[in-house]
Amino acid sequence: MNNRFLEYLSWIPMKVYSKVCGSYFPGVGNKLVIDLNKIGIDDSFNFYVNDEKEMGSLSSELRCFRIREPNNLKHYVKFIEKEDVLLDVGAHFGFFSVLGKKAKKIIAIEPIKECFYLLNKNLKENNLTDKTKVFNLALGNGGYLKMDQEGSSNLSKVNAKGKIKVKCKDLNYFAENFDTNLLKLDIEGYEYEIFMNQEVPKKINKITMELHICLIGIEKSREIIEKLYKQGFYVKYLIEDMPLRFYPFIQWKWLFNKLTWCKEDLTLKDALRDIEIGRGIKYVYLVRK
């Protein structure tokens, strides 16, 4: 039995589950209860999504499972501390802003204007409006960026030929104007341009990012890690998360432990080696020494 056929078989439960929960039972509605108890955290919160049903969309995953990126979320919640000022780049509907509710202040930036209704609604629903500032911006070097919205709203990408023109600010702007010290980054491969074209301001001493090795390639991924180590950061957590196609079995702990891992306090040599292991997306948490 070849690997391609095994891969095909492994997607069947996910496709059936997604079809049933996302399409046949639309009465589930768009106001969901996100249950963090599934990942060992005694908490839950209300969260609004839209009608997107394709696999890979935040709305579809949350409607089906009430959770996503389980290993990443578990570490993200404990990474946030009460004195942090969180800069949530690519805030979308505010999922990681709400998860970061422990932070002293949250600066949420989102380039796609259509996301703002649910972003603000989720912040209000979770009593975070007073300590959150929301901006229709992208992270860049100043000026403007062009973007395309490809498929679901959480997969929008920077594209020089894109039809969406968005004003952008650099990291220094947010560090100086809002004293941000914790950078959360999920920008679909544009992380290479961010880190290679500007230094991380000294005020920023913590970073959590989705590293899209599958989009930018292993060499550029290694360059990002090397540059951050040169600026005094080290990898606190490097996470391989559960593949989407196994989410129907997310509560099978033995399977979860087999498919996911987290490596801690890595040297540069170990970090460069371990980002090549496994899947093409890694969740990387860095702390400045």
Number of domains present in the structure of the chain:
1
Higher pLDDT: 63 or 17? It is 63
Report, as an integer, the average pLDDT of 78-98.
Answer: 96
- In this prediction, residue 5 carries a pLDDT of 56
- In this prediction, residue 185 carries a pLDDT of 95
In the chain, count H helices and then E strands: 11, 14
Q: In the predicted model, what is the mean pLDDT of the chain?
A: 87
- Number of C-beta neighbours around residue 64 at 10 A: 23
- In this prediction, residue 15 carries a pLDDT of 67
AA letter at 56:
G
- In this prediction, residue 2 carries a pLDDT of 40
Domain membership of residue 46 (yes or no) is no
C-alpha distances in Å from residue 127, one per residue of 124, 162, 180, 221: 5, 35, 21, 37
Domain membership of residue 167 (yes or no) is yes
- In this prediction, residue 156 carries a pLDDT of 64
Q: Which is it for strands 261-266 and 206-212: parallel, antiparallel or unpaired?
A: unpaired
- In this prediction, residue 157 carries a pLDDT of 59
Report, as an integer, the average pLDDT of 126-151.
Answer: 87
Tokens of 255: 């399977």
Asked whether residue 123 carries a pLDDT value surpassing 70, the answer given is yes
DSSP states along 193-254 = HHHHHSPPPTT--EEEEEEEHHHH-HHHHHHHHHHHHHTTEEEEEEEEPPPGGGGGGTT-HH
Q: How many residues does the chain have?
A: 289
C-alpha distances in Å from residue 22, one per residue of 63, 88, 191: 7, 28, 31
CB 87 within 8 Å of CB 179: no
pLDDT band at 17 (very low <50, low <70, confident <90, very high): low
Domain membership of residue 5 (yes or no) is no
Domain membership of residue 7 (yes or no) is no
pLDDT digits (tens, 9 = 90+) for 242-271: 887 787 788 888 888 888 999 999 999 999
CATH number at 104 reads 3.40.50.150
- In this prediction, residue 1 carries a pLDDT of 39
pLDDT digits (tens, 9 = 90+) for 156-212: 656 566 777 889 999 999 999 999 999 999 988 889 999 999 999 999 999 999 999
Backbone φ and ψ of 122, nearest 5°: -70, -35
CA 132 to chain centre: 18
Domain membership of residue 10 (yes or no) is no
Asked whether residue 154 carries a pLDDT value surpassing 60, the answer given is no
Q: What percent of the chain has pLDDT over 90?
A: 61
Q: Which of 211, 279, 208 is nearest to 244 (CA)?
A: 279
Strand partners, 234: 287
Domain membership of residue 282 (yes or no) is yes
- Tell me the helix, strand and coil percentages in the chain, rounded to 5: 45, 25, 35
Q: Which of 201, 204, 221 is nearest to 275 (CA)?
A: 221
Q: Which of 4-13, 100-109, 171-180, 197-206 has the lowest mean pLDDT?
A: 4-13
Residue range of the domain that includes 212: 68-288
Integer Cα distance of 49 and 129 in angstroms: 18
DSSP 141: S
- In this prediction, residue 27 carries a pLDDT of 47
Report, as an integer, the average pLDDT of 68-75.
Answer: 94
Domain membership of residue 63 (yes or no) is no
Domain membership of residue 105 (yes or no) is yes
